[in-house]
A and B are shown apart, each in its own frame.
Chain A
Amino acid sequence: AQKVTQAQTEISVVEKEDVTLDCVYETRDTTYYLFWYKQPPSGELVFLIRRNSFDEQNEISGRYSWNFQKSTSSFNFTITASQVVDSAVYFCALSEAGDSSYKLIFGSGTRLLVRP
């Protein structure tokens, strides 16, 4: 069965600190897709990144970086030099290629609080 685990319920850091949000997934599919979404205090869900299982290159986008490791079934998200605007709930999600619904399986989310 597919599952996404975000063990960190809440993280609090001081501005300019680096922070890593963990995501561990379970799937029996050999081809799958991993996602991160951001939910700021305003409530909307913002798509951040998609990673395909056959592409293990890590990705960097500005202060954001993602570390995909198939060997440990992890897709961790790092924010470098955090800012107050990064305060949000972050969700990791999984979609399996064998699932014709294209549905996303979400983790329970990690609430990040960045203090000034």
Chain B
Amino acid sequence: EVKLLESGGGLVQPGGSLRLSCAASGFTFTDFYMSWIRQPPGKAPEWLGVIRNKANGYTTEYNPSVKGRFTISRDNTQNILYLQMNTLRAEDTAIYYCYNNYYWGQGVMVTVSS
């Protein structure tokens, strides 16, 4: 059974940083592109970026809306996907999901507020 379990969310002040994790199991992690997607309450999802699979050198692509502030990485020995978020703004408040092109995690809430 595929499982994607995000963690690391919470309340952070504007300008702060946060690192999200996504623990993956039930599939061969290195074979899959892994993405982060966020969804502000009541709004449509927004794709943030992707880290490719082993065959494609684990390279990354980002949405211009977060490029330079957010960084995606992966630990292929522990099957964990990361999202490092810096210089956070109120508009970054959302549920953050990891996604392997087929399955979504349950999501983790990030609230940016003073």
Q: Do chains A and B interact in one complex?
A: no
Q: Chain A interface (Cβ within 8 Å of chain B)?
A: none
